[in-house]
């Protein structure tokens, strides 16, 4: 049973109501989640407000010390956390062990370390000395999605806490388990009461209550663009600070002068890793016409070799889709692609594994060609194991197609021509551009999207600046 973590204690929701938590690989409920509401959020806000007075005053080294205690407990429980992530989300256990949990640990390590080097500015003239203090905001809300549950939960709470804020966090209702286990570790590590509070429940109830709470000074949100839009409009009345990391429809641009083998292997990952449920996955693959037919054949053959099925099996490449509703959404886009004249080169259907996962929610890795770049399937986020192939001839043409969506989160360019790489990278409309690679993440770099992919940047000192308020002090000399 998952419980809320409020004022240092694990509590049932005040309503006494719960809903089911599913293991998507077997399509069965295996636990219950608190259906929290504004009363639980209010309790968390009071606890966070009380804790803020002391937490904001202790030296950053002391706050880092708590992080390192939590890290050692995460390392101790590494396998349990990875398994919980796999069961809750449907992702392969091997992926949770190699990506999700190591990165969650790294998030805490990273912010515990960089806070020591955080500086504020000073400006000196003959007339005056100006210096800027950066103070924590107070109580902040952190709302995270289901695709990388503990990875994104810690990515949000770590910079907020390390810079002296107290947090009310809400993980996705679909994947609450690792955030719950994390709250148990916070208690064991002796994190002061009320510094971190974790409220479980639906976005439309618990999430909204966090956004609307008058004591919450800022919201850091990762999730869908539609939800981001709602949060932005609710938060505008109270002038809350906002950081929104939203959806994407990322282009992968393959030029004929690329390192072909490297590109082929990486594009398989950028298309289908984590069932294609990473906001950074490339879902529109633009391929130069000179290598289009070869790429189509090789890529489709390699996609067919991916092993879909039981996430607990060590050789599984692609696990289950997080929910039945999401699986149906993905399948509906494939159906629409066929209606619009798209040719399914491989996949295209629900997948039924043999054995214990035969009822589970799986979708075959799917490659589609023959769709216009401006059709719905090529413009809207599907967020599943579905990619489209689109041939192109010139840079101008491909940039026009790549930039045609409302989104602008990430992009990938494959070319060995240095000038072309710089030229295309500077013209592509996205917050993150990878050239000849994908998902290399240096946590010091600014992370975020343009257009409907979000507002603000996370990562490094950008995140610390977001969670602090600048105050300038001017002294006449």
User: Is 258 among the catalytic positions?
Assistant: no
> Cβ(454)–Cβ(246) under 8 Å?
yes
**Catalytic position from the list 245, 277, 369, 458:** 245
277 annotated active-site: no
> Scanning the structure block, which residue is given the tokens 């479980």?
200
- Give the Cα separation of 402 and 408 in Å (integer): 9
Q: Which long-range contacts (CB under 8 A, 24 or more apart) does 69-77 make?
A: 69/189, 69/190, 70/108, 70/182, 70/185, 70/186, 70/189, 70/191, 71/105, 71/108, 71/109, 71/112, 73/185, 73/188, 73/189, 74/101, 74/104, 74/105, 74/108, 74/182, 74/185, 75/105, 77/181, 77/185
Q: Of how many residues is the chain composed?
A: 477
As a whole number of angstroms, the distance between CA 378 and CA 288 comes to: 18
Report, in Å, the least distance between residue 32 CB and ligand NAD. Answer: 16
Question: Which residue's CB is nearer to ligand NAD, number 25 or number 147?
Answer: 147
Q: Among residues 86, 166, 258, 279, which one is catalytic?
A: 279
Which residue lies nearer to ligand NAD by CB, 77 or 381? 381
Q: Which is nearer to ligand NAD, 173 or 310 (CB)?
A: 173
Minimum separation from the CB atom of position 298 to ligand NAD (A): 28
200 to each of 2, 99, 226, 459, how far by Cα in Å? 8, 24, 21, 25
Q: How far is the CB of 297 from ligand NAD (least distance, A)?
A: 30
Which of 429, 213, 210, 239 minimizes the C-alpha distance to 221? 210
Closest distance to ligand NAD from the beta carbon of 384 (Å): 11
The residue number whose beta carbon is nearest to ligand NAD equals: 203
Q: Smallest gap, in angstroms, from Cβ of residue 37 to ligand NAD?
A: 13
203 DSSP assignment: I
- C-beta closer to ligand NAD: residue 111 or 292: 111
Shortest separation between residue 22's beta carbon and ligand NAD, angstroms = 14
- Cβ proximity to ligand NAD: between 165 and 227 the closer is 227
Q: Which is nearer to ligand NAD, 163 or 250 (CB)?
A: 250
Question: Which one, 242 or 389, has the nearer CB to ligand NAD?
Answer: 242
Say which residues have a Cβ less than 8 Å from residue 56's Cβ, sequence separation at least 6. Answer: 135, 136, 138, 164, 165, 166
- In angstroms, the first-to-last Cα distance of the chain is 62
Find the shortest distance in angstroms from Cβ 227 to ligand NAD: 3
The answer to whether residues 315 and 269 touch, using CB atoms and an 8 Å cutoff, is: no
Residue ranges that bind ligand NAD, judged by CB under 6 A: 143-147, 170, 172-173, 203-204, 207-208, 211, 222-224, 227, 230-231, 245-248, 279, 381, 383, 409, 449, 454
Per DSSP, the residues of 400-464 read HHHTTSS--SEEEEE-S-HHHHHHHHHHS--SEEEES-S----TTS-B--SGGGEES-BSHHHHH
What residues are annotated to the active site? Answer: 245, 279
């Amino acid at each position: 049973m998952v419980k809320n973590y409020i004022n240092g204690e694990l509590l049932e929701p005040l309503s006494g109501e719960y809903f089911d938590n599913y293991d998507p690989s077997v399509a069965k409920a295996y636990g219950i989640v608190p259906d929290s509401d504004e009363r639980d959020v209010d309790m968390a806000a009071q606890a966070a407000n009380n804790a803020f007075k002391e937490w904001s005053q202790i030296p950053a080294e002391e706050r880092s010390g708590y992080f390192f205690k939590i890290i050692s407990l995460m390392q101790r429980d590494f396998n349990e956390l990875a398994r919980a992530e796999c069961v809750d989300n449907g992702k392969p256990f091997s992926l949770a062990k190699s990506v999700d949990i190591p990165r969650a640990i790294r998030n805490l390590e990273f912010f515990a370390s960089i806070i020591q080097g955080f500086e504020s500015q000073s400006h000196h003239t003959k007339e005056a000395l100006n210096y800027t203090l950066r103070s924590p905001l107070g109580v902040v809300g952190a709302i995270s999605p289901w695709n990388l549950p503990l990875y994104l939960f810690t990515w949000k709470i770590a910079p907020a806490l390390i810079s002296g804020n107290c947090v009310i966090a809400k993980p996705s209702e679909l994947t609450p388990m690792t955030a719950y286990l994390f709250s148990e570790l916070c208690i064991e590590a002796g994190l002061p009461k009320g510094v971190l509070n974790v409220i479980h429940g639906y976005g439309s109830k618990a999430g909204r209550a966090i956004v609307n709470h008058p004591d919450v000074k800022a919201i850091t949100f990762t999730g869908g663009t539609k939800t981001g839009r709602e949060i932005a409009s609710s938060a505008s009345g109270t002038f809350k600070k906002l950081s929104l990391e939203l959806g994407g429809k990322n282009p992968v641009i393959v030029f004929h002068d690329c390192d072909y083998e490297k590109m082929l292997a990486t594009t398989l990952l950028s298309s289908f890793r984590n069932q294609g449920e990473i906001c950074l996955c490339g879902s529109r693959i633009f391929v130069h016409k000179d290598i289009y037919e070869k790429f189509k054949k090789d890529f489709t053959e390699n996609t067919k070799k991916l092993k879909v099925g039981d996430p607990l099996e060590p050789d599984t490449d692609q696990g289950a889709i997080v929910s039945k509703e999401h699986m149906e959404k993905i399948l509906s886009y494939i159906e629409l692609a066929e209606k619009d004249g798209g040719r399914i080169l491989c996949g295209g259907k629900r997948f039924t594994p043999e054995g214990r996962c035969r009822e589970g929610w799986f979708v075959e890795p799917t490659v589609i060609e023959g769709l216009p770049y401006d059709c719905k399937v090529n413009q809207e986020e599907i967020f599943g194991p579905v990619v489209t192939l689109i041939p192109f001839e010139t840079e101008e043409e491909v940039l026009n197609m790549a930039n045609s969506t409302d989104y602008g989160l990430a992009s990938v360019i494959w070319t060995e021509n240095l000038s072309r790489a710089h030229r295309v990278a500077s013209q592509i409309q996205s917050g993150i551009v990878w050239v000849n690679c994908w998902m290399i993440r240096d946590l010091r770099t600014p992370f975020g999207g343009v257009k409907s992919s979000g507002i603000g940047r996370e990562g490094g000192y950008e995140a610390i600046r977001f969670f602090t308020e600048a105050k300038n002090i001017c002294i006449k000399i």
